[in-house]
Amino acid sequence: MTTCTIEQWSERHWVGIPVTAELSRWDRVNALVPHVFAALAAAGHEPLGGPIYQYHRLRTVADPMDVTVSVPVAAPVQLGTGFDTGTLPAGHYLVARPHGGPDALAQTHRDMGDWANQQGLELAVDEEADSIRWHVRTEQFLTDPQTEPDRSRWAVEVAYLLR
């Protein structure tokens, strides 16, 4: 079982690229990560950590989902066409920090959902006729794959905004 905590977060700034993709084409999503880091470097800005995948909308795992591939920054940054900037809002978040990189994420999300239900917590999500929309659902990679090639040792921070 994944260890879950509830944490109070302050507002967190990010810059990133929005994309719609299905899991079978996740290579397209991952390919955006170096573009965000390169654009930040070219503009003279430092990232505050590893990439954050922000999940916005999903119907089923077989359908395309709306995601923003982003990087945390100290203050709002404008990088030009194709890039969005925004903030993860301050609030209470359900958080887990599993090891195992992408391979651990499906189980982590199931465990977090189960734990939230057991605790009587309500995730900030809107269920619509054609999809599920999260106010904030993120996966931030805490381990740099260039310094740790073993995916089983990667740490990820998974977070859901609570209502």
| Tens of pLDDT, residues 57-110 | 987 777 899 999 999 999 999 999 999 999 999 999 999 999 888 889 999 999
Look up the CATH number of the domain holding residue 23: 3.20.80.10
Tokens of 141: 């990679």
pTM value surpassing 0.85: yes
68 CB neighbour count, 10 Å cutoff: 22
How sure is the predictor about 9, in pLDDT bands with cuts at 50, 70 and 90? very high
Tens digit of each residue's pLDDT (9 = 90 or more) over 111-122: 999 999 999 999
How sure is the predictor about 128, in pLDDT bands with cuts at 50, 70 and 90? confident
The count of domains in the chain is 1
Instruction: Return the percent helix, strand and coil in the chain, to nearest 5.
Output: 25, 40, 35
Q: Domain span at residue 39?
A: 4-161
